[in-house]
């Protein structure tokens, strides 16, 4: 028998919360193939701050454990210490409580009902839901 839940929540992780700009920096690092210079990151930011501000934010992300760096001649090359999937989970953990009261169900309902989905896209979503249900039954 399937258990109904009216209020689904995100699982907690130990990754510290990131600001909007810190998430943007993490996205820039991933977009650079997880190997990025401060200037490469800065170029990808919207309304980029000055070079020294970017370096301060990179240092802050290192202290939070999200980034690490290696020396490459005169510059540092930054890479993420977490996977893109973990970064997405962290972003959702901040987004879902802020906009949907912590309810994944409310978020998914809003996404499905408010977006312009093609029949093919809706079928892909249905197939993914069916796959997850089957996987849970087999556990």
- Residue 14's pLDDT is 57
- Residue 85's pLDDT is 86
- pLDDT, mean of residues 82-92: 82
- pLDDT, mean of residues 88-109: 86
Q: List the CATH code of the domain at 20-80.
A: 1.10.10.10
DSSP per-residue string spanning the chain: -PPP-S---PPP-SSPP--HHHHHHHHHHHHTTS-EEHHHHHHHSSS---HHHHHHHHHHHHHTTSEEEEEETTEEEEEESS-HHHHHHHHHHHHHHHHHTT-HHHHHHHHHHHS---HHHHHHHHHHHHHHHHHHHT-
**Domain residue ranges of the chain, discontinuous segments joined by +:** 20-80, 103-137
pLDDT reading at 39 higher than 60: yes
- Residue 17's pLDDT is 77
Residue 59 — very low, low, confident or very high, per pLDDT cuts 50/70/90? very high
pLDDT reading at 12 higher than 90: no
Residue 4 — very low, low, confident or very high, per pLDDT cuts 50/70/90? very low
Residue 15 — very low, low, confident or very high, per pLDDT cuts 50/70/90? low
pLDDT reading at 13 higher than 80: no
């Amino acid at each position: 028998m399937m258990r109904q839940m009216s209020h689904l929540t995100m699982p907690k992780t130990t990754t510290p919360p990131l600001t909007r700009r810190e998430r943007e920096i993490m996205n820039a690092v991933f977009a650079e193939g997880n190997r990025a210079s401060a200037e490469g990151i800065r170029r990808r930011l919207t309304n980029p701050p000055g070079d020294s501000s970017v370096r301060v934010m990179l240092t802050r992300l290192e202290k939070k454990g999200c980034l690490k760096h290696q020396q490459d001649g005169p510059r540092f090359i930054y890479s993420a210490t977490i996977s893109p999937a973990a970064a997405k989970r962290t972003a959702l953990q901040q987004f879902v409580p802020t906009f949907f009261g912590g309810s994944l169900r409310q978020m998914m309902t809003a996404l499905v009902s408010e977006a312009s989905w093609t029949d093919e896209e809706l079928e892909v979503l249905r197939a993914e839901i069916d796959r997850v249900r089957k996987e849970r039954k087999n556990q």
